[in-house]
Structure 1
Amino acid sequence: MTKAKRYSPYTMLFHLINLVRNAFFFVIYLYVVMAGSESAFIKYGRMAFWIIVGLILFSIIYKWVTHKYKLDEQSFHLYKGLFSKTEQTIPFSKIENINRHTSFLHRIFKRTSIHFEIAMTGENAHIKFEVLSKAEAEQIEAHIKRATDEELEDWNHPSHDPNDEEAHPRDPDQERTIHFQPTKRDILKASVTSLSFLVLIPLIGSFYFKINDLFHVEDTTEGLINKLASSWWIVAVIIIVLIVVSTIFGLIRTYVKYGKYEIVSDATHIYINRGVIDESAFSISKDKVQAIEIEQSMVKRLLGLAEVKLTSAGGLRSGEEALEKNTLYPFLPVNKAYEMISDMLPSYTITTEMTRLPTKSLWLRILRPSWFWLLATGALFYFKPAIFNIEQSWIIVSAALLVYLLIARLFDFFHTRYAINDHFIQFKTGAFTTSLFVSKREKVIKAKITRNILQKRLGLASIETTNRGNPVRHSGINDVPVELAHSFLQWYRGRKNDITVE
């Protein structure tokens, strides 16, 4: 693209629809629920409401008129402002990952959105096209991928002739490999593991309280509820119906979320596609992966499942969607997870042979004081709550909390392991939920050793690595032998042999 252009005019329409949706409950409250009110609060509230709506409408139009963008062969160029104009240039090489999201509203208008996550912080951490045609999104994404692949190829093969297609053929679509698509059994496991069948009852309760706040239906329903509760068979039928409906709801919810999940890769990128109603797609360059994390809760360990996450320096937006978009799949069979990592990221090596902590680490963990338990016990002693009318119940609660902490520390000790190979480091930590962290030495930007007084006396230390991320990723293990800590530093000093400075 040689000329700067405005964003799609559909952007204004989508912002207007969002404005109407967000203003709906205010309109209901101000003009329906409080229709006959002569209160000054309601009167001025209506005036403030229309002033705010007017300002938002002006902002929507102003932003569309003054914001433009342009792409060249190497960078994004973003323009904004009317009287005081600013231009921002972001090289394609700074893009960490690409996220596409097609909501139900996007699908109605045959549009999509695309986000480019940048290895920066603040407002420059992403480039967002909120609404554009699918063809334009694919064109922009293909343009950036082609430019970054050519840059990487020129770096690896400086004498490469760009016209020599026989020597370096490029047809990534034919080289893509599908690594995972969930089966019906996988969807069932995901529904059970995520406990999505329990979501319906809180939703019904929340909806009831909101309706009650608006229309005060509690007085009407109270007699009906008491009448139903007086008959045991009606209660039993209601419970059975709730269980069946909740189970069906959970399965449907899980299918809508994970039914069309797909994990694909080619020579340079990993692609994650998902969604039945709201579609989303995530792609990340393999060389941008800073680390791998394999997480297992207690339920997942019992079912032989794991969640694989990829750490990258791109910023993650807030919300559930953002937190999950760097996850390969939250409910992968463990063997499939290891196999998939080996296939997609052959430069990463995960070993099953790891070293446990010495026995003296267990004693240090057990004897280490718990400030949380001490403060909780102090509060219980001061207030002395009588739970279930038991006068000394605070002692039972304190003892139970202490037992829980000791069991958690014991589990954490047995789960904690480590391995340091030629170019990799691997940590496994956690009590009830375990996390296996793997990173290459060249991706570790900082290594740290700390020792407290007790660790010095027992010949132990704590080690920590830092990887690029947003936020920055810190991983490590406490109470390792001090000899291992020194070896860890020597291992990290070898990083200078892994990295190339341009």
Structure 2
Amino acid sequence: MKKMKRYSPLVMLFDLGKLLRNSFFFVFFLYVVKADSDSSFIKYGKIVFLLAVGFTLFSIVYKWLTHKYELDNKAFHLYKGLLIKSERTIPLSKIQNIQRHTSLFHRMVKMTSIQFETVMTDENAKIKFEVISQAEADWMEVYLKNKEPVADYQMYEFDNPETERQNSNRMIHFHATKKDILKASFSSLSFLVLIPLISSFYYKIDEIFHVEDTAEGFFDKLISSWWIVTIIVIVLVIASATFGIVRTYLKYGKSEISSDSNHIYITRGVINETAFSISKDRVQAIEMEQSWMKRLLGLVKVKLTSAGSLSYGEDTLEVNTLYPFLPVNKANEIVSEILPSYMITQDMIRLPERSFWLRLLWPSWLWALATGALYYLEPIIGNVEQSWMILSAVLLICILISRLLDFSHSSYRINDQFIQFKKGVFTTSLFVSKREKIIEVKVRRNIIQKVLGLASIETINRGKPVQHSGLDDVPLEFAHSFLNWYVKRKNEIKVE
């Protein structure tokens, strides 16, 4: 048994940084905006704030002194407490995925963070090291993957990340280029984020300093000149495009997808670098999503459903996303390379014509309720009488168009041990799974479906949360074939 270890003392500095970040608004409000206030609320607010900061500082030091860990051949052991001590043991066999996150702070102190996701669903499902040396994180990760004998991590230090990657026989399948980043910035519409950010910042400043009253005459003078307005619009367009490209580059720059015989590796980010590791045998399904913009640019988002999902701090990260903006042909090639046991069939079966009429004529409660509300309120738009009828008609047309698109995008296929569903309105999703990875199936029929010989089918895969996928209004014959196909799963699974 290894000796218990304390976490890095830099964890206290990391937690202190979070405290300062979270306290900024309160400090600004209490000691800058309301510095001269004699209000009892502000005075007591300052006292409560100082007490909260003092308690947090104490808890940061107490946590470092009382929290310890160790790793042996079978499990992680996490200890905490001083007078009342507790131990949490997590078997290594329960660990599903691994995440590495290196922020600007970590780079400055030459450290990183690592998180292990388990199959458990409670609050103890994660093992997280907020600040840990690169060498120890490498040692933990390689040991958990290869089950090598536990040795001191200082004897297991890599010369550099590139050497480690070469020694692990990884194959690189995709590396984001400048062209990929440019496409991603337009596909994600990130260039539209700048103007709302500026507006939000302006209104917050105006609430405090009443900028609008002071600058009212200045703004009137600006908008009265057409050439000044033109220059402002051009500058905003250029700034928005630049902001979108830079934002996308910082988030997805240096993105890389690689794999070895057992794991899939995903890295992304420039300043804040994030690395994921997913075990191939834990992949439950593949999902390919395309928004209307991605269809125009020939891009697709590839997601792998696994038993674990990862998060870091307040940001939930899509550990199962290979890269959100892969070219379609490249995506199919990558999937066949990293998961050769999966097969995606391009030739799929569309829904029958009776499914179209069922979807088209099915009552819409949204339209009925909205029409009732419009009739009651009788809004008048542009001095047009009976405006509520026009709005109701527009809403009905939009609903019918969405149903038409949903029908045109819906298809299905069973190919040996694989099943595929495709559906969607403006964003389409292609779902592919193996029979042995599906833990439950369902077939449902309402009264209308029974009359028309249709049914709704559903599959359930392990995941966090559990993933439900399926398709409505398939022929009843296919629903029966679907159930018979799933019964054969008993010949493929192994009971331990």
Q: Is the partner of 1:419 in helix, strand or coil?
A: strand
Separation (CA, whole Å) in 2 of partners of 1:289 and 1:348: 10
* In 2: Cα distance, 1:149 partner to 1:252 partner: 44
Alignment partners' CA distance in 1, 2:317 and 2:208: 34
Q: Report % sequence identity.
A: 65
Contact 1:102 1:113 (8 Å CA) reproduced: yes
Aligned equivalents of 2:462, 2:329: Cα separation in 1: 28
Work out whether residues 125 and 315 of structure 1, in 8 Å CA contact, stay in contact via their aligned partners in 2.
no
How does 1:267-278 map onto structure 2 within 5 Å? Answer: 267-278=261-272
Correspondence for 2:404: 410
The separation in 1 between residues aligned to 2:166 and 2:81, in whole angstroms, is 39
Give the drift of 1:321: 4.8
Q: Cα 1:171–1:189, aligned 2, differ >3 Å: closer, same or farther?
A: closer
What residue identity is the alignment partner of 2:199?
G
Q: Matches of residues 242-321 of structure 1 in structure 2 within 5 Å?
A: 242-317=236-311, 321=315
Match of 2:197 in 1: 203
Secondary structure at the aligned position of 1:78 is classed as: strand
Q: 1:320/1:189 Cα in 2 relative to 1: closer, same or farther (>3 Å)? A: farther
| Letter of the 2:428 counterpart | T
Q: Name 1:65's counterpart in structure 2.
A: 65
Asked if 1:494 corresponds to 2:476, the answer is no
- Counterpart for residue 31 of structure 1: 31
Give the letter for the 1:90 counterpart: I
Alignment of 1:121-140 (within 5 A): 121-140=121-140
Specify the alignment match of 1:100 in structure 2. 100
Shift of 1:22: 1.3
Alignment partners' CA distance in 2, 1:217 and 1:149: 65
Spell out the pairing of 1:48-197 with structure 2 (5 A cutoff): 48-147=48-147, 173-197=167-191
What is the identity, as a one-letter code, of the residue corresponding to 1:202?
Answer: P
Secondary structure of the 2:130 match is strand
Normalised to the residue count of structure 2, the TM-score between the two structures is 0.94
Structure 2: how far apart are the matches of 1:173 and 1:455? Answer: 57
Which deviations, in whole Å up to 9, do the C-alpha atoms of 1:254-309 show, x marking residues without a partner?
A: 11112211111111000011111111101100001111100001111111110000
Q: Does 1:473 align with 2:473?
A: no
Q: How many residue pairs end up in the alignment?
A: 483
Residue aligning to 1:15: 15
Assess if the C-alpha contact under 8 Å between 2:309 and 2:318 holds in 1.
Answer: no
Deviation at 1:174, TM superposition (A): 4.8
Partner of 2:155: none
Amino acid at match of 2:410: T
Question: Quick one: distance in 2 between partners of 1:52 and 1:381?
Answer: 53
- CA–CA separation in structure 2 for the residues paired with 1:398 and 1:108: 58
Q: What is the CA distance between 1:214 and its match in structure 2?
A: 2.5
> Matches of 1:26 and 1:320 in 2, distance apart?
19
Alpha-carbon displacement from aligned partner over 1:197-217 (angstroms, at most 9, x marks no partner): 111111111221222222222
Displacement of 1:102 in angstroms is 0.8
Letter in 2 for 1:302: L
List 4+ stretches of structure 1 deviating above 6 A.
Answer: none
Whether the 8 Å CA contact 2:73–2:149 is kept in 1: the answer is: no
Deviations 1:17-54 (A, max 9, x none): 11112112211211111111111001110111011111
1:354 maps to a residue whose letter is M
1:80 & 1:380 partners in 2: Cα distance?
Answer: 60
Q: Aligned equivalents of 2:462 and 2:340: distance in 1?
A: 21
Given that 2:445 and 2:455 are in contact with CA atoms closer than 8 Å, whether structure 1 keeps it comes out as yes
Match of residue 218 from structure 1: 212
The match for 2:373 among 374, 379, 386 is: 379
- RMSD (Å), alpha carbons: 1.8
Secondary structure of 1:76 counterpart: strand
Paired residue secondary structure (2:343):
coil
SS of residue paired to 1:313:
coil
Q: Which residue of 1 is the match for residue 451 of structure 2? A: 457
Letter of the aligned partner of 1:294 in structure 2?
M
Q: Which 5+ residue runs of structure 1 have no aligned equivalent?
A: 151-169
* Kept in 2: contact 1:8–1:131 (CA 8 A): yes
Counterpart Cα distance in 2 of 1:302 and 1:149: 51
Aligned match of 1:240 in 234, 237, 260?
234
In the TM superposition, residue 55 of structure 1 has moved relative to its aligned partner by 1.6
Contact 1:182 1:261 in 2 (8 A): yes
Instruction: Supply the distance in 2 between the matched residues of 1:461 and 1:482 (Cα, whole angstroms).
Output: 6
Q: What amino acid does structure 1 have at the position aligned with 2:431?
A: F
Q: CA deviation at 1:70?
A: 1.0
- SS of the counterpart of 1:124? coil
* SS of residue in 1 equivalent to 2:300: strand
Q: Distance in 2 between matches of 1:317 and 1:382?
A: 46
Amino acid at match of 2:195: I
What's the counterpart of residue 161 of structure 2? none
Contact in 2 for aligned 1:92/1:148 (Cα 8 Å)? no
Equivalent-residue separation in structure 2 for 1:378 and 1:76 (angstroms): 60
Alignment of 1:419-458 (within 5 A): 419-458=413-452
Decide whether the 8 Å contact of 1:69 with 1:78 is kept in 2.
yes
Deviation per CA, 1:82-116: give whole Å up to 9, x if none: 22222222122211111111111111111111111
- More displaced, 80-89 or 473-482? 80-89
Q: Quote the residue 1:156 is aligned against.
A: none
What is the identity, as a one-letter code, of the residue corresponding to 2:137?
Answer: A
Query: Alignment partner of 1:337: what SS?
Result: helix
Amino acid at match of 2:463: G
Q: Report the Cα distance in structure 2 between the residues aligned to 1:481 and 1:25, rounded to whole angstroms.
A: 58
Q: CA deviation at 1:81?
A: 2.1
Matches of 2:366 and 2:412 in 1, distance apart?
28
AA aligned to 1:356 is R
5+ residue gaps, structure 2, are 151-163
**2-side partners of 1:42 and 1:69: how far apart?**
43
Aligned equivalent of 2:393: 399
Contact kept, 8 Å, 2:30 with 2:42, in 1: the verdict is: yes
One-letter code aligned to 2:144: I
